[in-house]
Amino acid sequence: MKGVKRKKIIFTIILFIPLCYLSFGAEKRALLIGINDYLNLPLIFENKKIEDLQGPLNDVRIIKGVLVSFYEFEENNIKVLTEKEATRENIVKSINEWLVEGTKEGDMVFFYYSGHGTRIEDQNGDEEDGYDEALCPVDVKPRAKDILDSKLILDDELGELFRKLRGRDVIAIVDACHSATVTTRGKGTKQLEDTPGVRARFIPVRIAHFEMRLLPRSIPVQRDIPEGQIFLFSSREDQKSFEFNYPDGFHGIFTFNLCELLKKQKFITYRELYQQVKKIIREKSKKGFYLEQEPQIEPKEGEILKKVIFTAFKAPIHPQKQPIVPGKIEPFQAPPELKGEKVLLRVEDFKGANTKIMNNLKVKLGNLPHVEITETSFFDRLIRGEIKNGLFYSRIVNRLGDAFIIQETPDVDDLVRRISSHLEYTYIVKQLATITNPNPPFKVRVWIAEENREDFFIGERVSFNFFSEKDCYLLLLNLDSKGNFQVLFPNKYYQNNFVKGGKEITIPDENMRKEFELEFFEPEGEETVKAIATTEPINLENIGIQNFESLFDTTGSISVPIETRGALIENLQRKISSGKFQWSEDTVVIRTHKRRR
């Protein structure tokens, strides 16, 4: 018979708590698990290579450092399982013996896992979405005859283990993937490629006569979460979790930024921590990484969310909390390649090309303005391809694996010319990324009016929604894949760009559409739309847009001349940073495609 449905608690990222707020005699105990190298990887799945990871051991190291240095965990109360130690048997045994039997009511328990995860067909009929999530121990078998043989640790099993910890304050972090749906992006999209700068933490597992397949968005099953336990998911059940190459090596993007927040804001609450790390990952996605990774928290409501991290559940809600500036968000922790001036370009050897050809290509690309060739995994764009029948077949790939096909050509100089426009776009996007306000005095948001839409075909029309908390003047900028720069708002038909605070507007709305529409034209590729809101109007001529009326194109938008694009961004940055008025900003990234017959 079916059991009572309870709230799913795997793949959460459970949090922390200070000794001075625990009851007398209470202890803190932690179990940290990290797996880089799996016994049965790599493997080929649907023509894609599933590999080991590079970040989990680094994740365990920084998590342990935060616990000991900032939250008074004793080193002898922290057990670490890494690599070959992290078998299914040892993980389950350590949870039972180290966490359950080794603690008592009133103690604090911290569980952390960094490694691969997976999702398989529901084994006992208790999941509304029809799938079980699972941790992948080091000895997981991606091709198994049954569940026991697979060595997976299912969410149901992990849930039963955590329910044995009733009466303790339980905090857990699981930085791993749940599903494979992130490899496709819906209507008119391309599949992501693997790149040296980013990896997803997911292993497809085949059990008996079925195997993993791409899944639609699922609805989490509602289950009971014991009092005093809180969970923060690194991503939704239908998403992947990613690791990036940071200055000290690879880390899970969730874990790295979570630790940065914990080190800087010791008295942050669970809700504040969740909201801030979610915002950081969202901001990273705006900067061209397309991270479909949205942290989730469980429970979603209740007094525990107001607790300062690592304080006992029954402790006062706000003990000795340090002052925090309202709405303050710590600066986005980006890998260093986003902070440089030039576009960092990595060129992989083309299949069928000799050393002389590749060296010539690298030299010519390196001679482009604003481009620097790199051989490391710190890059903004990656060039891949092959030479076949005397033609260069190539594609340009961003760090997350989003690829754009370059038209084939027999000539290396023509290839460089075709690539250069995309690199110019990347350079300007990096400049736009510097126009950011991590501590805005008021919040604004810009988004595509058609919900859940990021991809469009050439010829389709689009509208944008905009909202500001207070009265402002809106500057809406658009940059297409070839570096063409337009000011969408204000425009020929609406030169007054004042926006009333607290009211959502659409550009173009029904009245505006009588005068103009926003339609996608070639070239296809990535487009960035940036909204900048100021409390005082900006004179466009003061930032480099001269002869306002003469620059209107046939759509009514302002087309910025090529020679003034860089200066416009620099002048705009200088103007809004003058301190003479308040400002805020937001960004949305879109992809356009030609219709294929």
70-101 pLDDT, tens digit per residue, is: 999 999 999 999 999 999 999 999 999 999 99
* CA proximity to 309, closest of 73, 115, 80: 73
Q: Which residue has the tokens 């799996």?
A: 38
Cα-to-chain-centroid distance, residue 106: 36
Ranges 27-31, 267-271, 478-482: which has the least confidence:
478-482
Residue that the structure tokens 């416009």 belong to: 568
Mean pLDDT of the region 251-255: 86
Q: Which pLDDT does position 138 carry in this prediction?
A: 94
CATH number of 336-431: 3.40.50
Q: Is the pLDDT of residue 557 over 70?
A: no
Nearest to 36 by CA among 20, 58, 17, 11: 58
Mean of per-residue pLDDT scores for the chain: 75
CB atoms within 10 A of CB 43: 15
List the single range of 55-59, 273-277, 394-398, 564-568 with lowest mean pLDDT. Answer: 564-568
pLDDT band at 575 (very low <50, low <70, confident <90, very high): confident
Amino acid 238: pLDDT: 61
Mean pLDDT: which of 19-23, 199-203, 399-403 is highest? 399-403
pLDDT tier, 472 (very low <50, low <70, confident <90, very high otherwise): very high
Per-residue CA distances from 295 to 14, 44, 133, 221 (Å): 12, 29, 16, 17
Burial of 103 (0-12, 13-18, 19+ CB in 10 A): buried
Q: How far is residue 586's CA from residue 408's CA, in Å, rounded to a whole number?
A: 36
Q: Is 163 exposed, middle or buried (0-12, 13-18, 19+ CB in 10 A)?
A: middle
What is residue 251's predicted lDDT score, i.e. its pLDDT? 86
pLDDT at res. 79: 97
| CB-count burial class (<10 Å; 0-12, 13-18, 19+) for 372 | middle
Q: Does residue 292 or residue 118 have the better pLDDT? A: 118
Q: What average pLDDT does this structure show over 123-151? A: 74
Domain ranges of the chain: 19-306, 336-431, 444-593
Per-residue pLDDT band at 59 (split at 50, 70, 90): very high
Half-sphere exposure of 454 (CA within 13 A, CB side): 17
Q: H or E element: which one contains 109?
A: strand 108-114
459 has pLDDT over 80: yes
**pLDDT attached to residue 574:** 76
Alpha helices in 45-135 (DSSP H): 56-70, 88-94
Whole-number pLDDT of residue 567:
63
Answer whether 10's CB lies under 8 Å from 299's CB: no
Please check the confidence at residue 252 and state whether its pLDDT lies above 80.
yes
> What residues contact 147, with CB distance under 8 A and at least 6 apart?
123, 154, 207
Question: What is the share, in percent, of the chain residues with pLDDT greater than 70?
Answer: 70
pLDDT at 355: 94
Domain 19-306 is found in CATH 3.40.50.1460: yes
The DSSP line for 308-321 is: BTBS-TTS-SSTTP
The helix/strand/coil state of 64 is: helix
Q: Please compute the mean of the pLDDT values over residues 467-486 and round it to a whole number.
A: 84
Q: Which residues contact 587 (CB under 8 A, 6 or more apart)?
A: 286, 287, 432, 446, 528, 529, 530, 531
Residue % of the chain over a pLDDT of 90? 25
In terms of Cα–Cα distance, which of 136, 117, 313 is closest to 227? 313
Confidence check: pLDDT of 222 > 60: no
Give φ, ψ of 178 to 5 degrees.
-115, -35
Residue 542: what pLDDT?
A: 59
Q: Beta strand pairing status for 472-479 and 485-489?
A: antiparallel
Local structure of 412: helix, strand or coil: helix
Statement: residue 551 has pLDDT above 60? no
Find the distance separating the first CA and the last CA of the chain, reported in whole Å. 51
Cβ count near 227 (within 10 Å): 15
Q: How many residues does the chain have?
A: 597
pLDDT score for 588? 84
Q: Which helix (H) or strand (E) holds 270?
A: helix 270-284
**pLDDT at residue 471, as a whole number:** 96
* pLDDT score recorded for residue 498: 93
Q: Is the dihedral of CA 234, 36, 258, 226 positive or negative?
A: positive
Q: Alpha-carbon Rg of the chain, whole angstroms?
A: 26
As a whole number of angstroms, the distance between CA 401 and CA 490 comes to 35
CATH for 444-593, among 3.40.50.1980, 2.60.40.2550, 3.40.50.2300, 2.70.70.10? 2.60.40.2550
Confidence class for position 518, pLDDT limits 50, 70, 90: confident
pLDDT of residue 325: 30
Decide which of 46 and 311 is more confident: 311
Which pLDDT score is estimated for 61? 95
Most confident of 132-136, 205-209, 228-232, 363-367: 363-367
Which residues are CB-neighbours of 584 under 8 A, at least 6 positions away? 437, 440, 441, 442, 443, 444, 468, 472, 532, 533
Reduced DSSP (H G I as helix, E B as strand, rest coil) percent helix, strand, coil of the chain, to 5: 25, 30, 45
Give the pLDDT confidence score for residue 292 in this predicted structure. Answer: 66
The backbone torsions φ and ψ at residue 419, rounded to the nearest 5 degrees and listed phi first, read -75, -35
pLDDT in tens, 380-434: 889 999 999 999 999 998 776 777 888 899 999 999 999 987 887 788 777 776 6
Residue 130: per-residue pLDDT? 52
Give me the pLDDT at residue 525, please: 77
428 vs 492: CA distance, rounded Å: 25
Q: Does 444-593 match 336-431 at the fold level?
A: no
